[in-house]
Amino acid sequence: ASQRKPGMFKLADTGTLFLDEIGDLSLGLQAKLLRAIEAGEFIPLGASKPVKVDVRIVAATNQDLEVLAGDGRFREDLFYRLNVFPIRIEPLRTRREDIIPIAESFLKSWNLSANVLGREVHDKLLGYDWPGNVRELRNILERAVILAGRDAIKPEHITISESRSASLPEEVLRSIVGERTLPEIERIMIELALERTGGNKSRAAELLGITRRTLYGRLDKQGTEKEETE
């Protein structure tokens, strides 16, 4: 009963270890991961001696690690160790041609026919901007399968929020412009994006079509200008 179970690093020895959402690791765990990568060894929980491992690391995140490193929330040395061959996957909203094939692949993995998605369902899936990307698509499809039961999936089974579009409506943009100056327009658009995303800066940046770093820079600039005018 007291026999130790091998950890993920030991199980992945001579193979590949996939680390999802690497940006959420605490600084303490980041230090341990860096040691495992650089020294090729780690100390198992409850052990006193290091164990050698030969592991290839593949890491994924939906955050900008360079920004996190600049803010002190991610170790810069670990960032450069991991950033050997970066692959950027564009948001689902920018590659709509992938939405239906991905949806069908999920259905097949659940032993369901892709034919359960009709044309109206296709249109609804394609008309949404998927701020949560592939994870959100999977979750919504799982819910739709449950709601549909043994029937074909219908548009009403696809429960998505129309308010979570990844672009500001044209009429909103027109109402913003008016006689305002460019800095005023920028400030209002950022405020609207943050309001629509509940203060989530990553999603607000996507909504505005800019990077998180750019959004942070503009927020800092606006804060400085506000202080100078007060």
Residue 19's pLDDT is 93
Residue 180's pLDDT is 64
Residue 114's pLDDT is 67
Residue 42's pLDDT is 83
Q: Which residue numbers in the chain have pLDDT < 50? A: 1-2, 163, 165-166, 170-171, 224-230
Fold of 173-228: Arc Repressor Mutant, subunit A (1.10.10)
Residue spans of the domains in the chain: they are: 8-83, 92-167, 173-228
Q: Do domains 8-83 and 173-228 have the same CATH topology?
A: no
- Options 3.30.365.10, 3.40.50.300, 3.20.10.10, 3.30.70.2190; CATH for 8-83 is 3.40.50.300
Model's pTM, two decimal places?
Answer: 0.56
Reported CATH class of domain 92-167: mainly alpha
For residue 156, which of 167, 137, 139, 140 has the smallest C-alpha distance?
Answer: 140
Can you read off the two tokens belonging to residue 93?
Answer: 């909203």
Residue 203's pLDDT is 80
Average pLDDT, the chain: 82
Residue 78's pLDDT is 95
Q: How far apart are the first and last CA of the chain?
A: 67
| Residue 230 to residue 225: CA distance in whole angstroms | 9
204 by DSSP, 3-state: which? helix
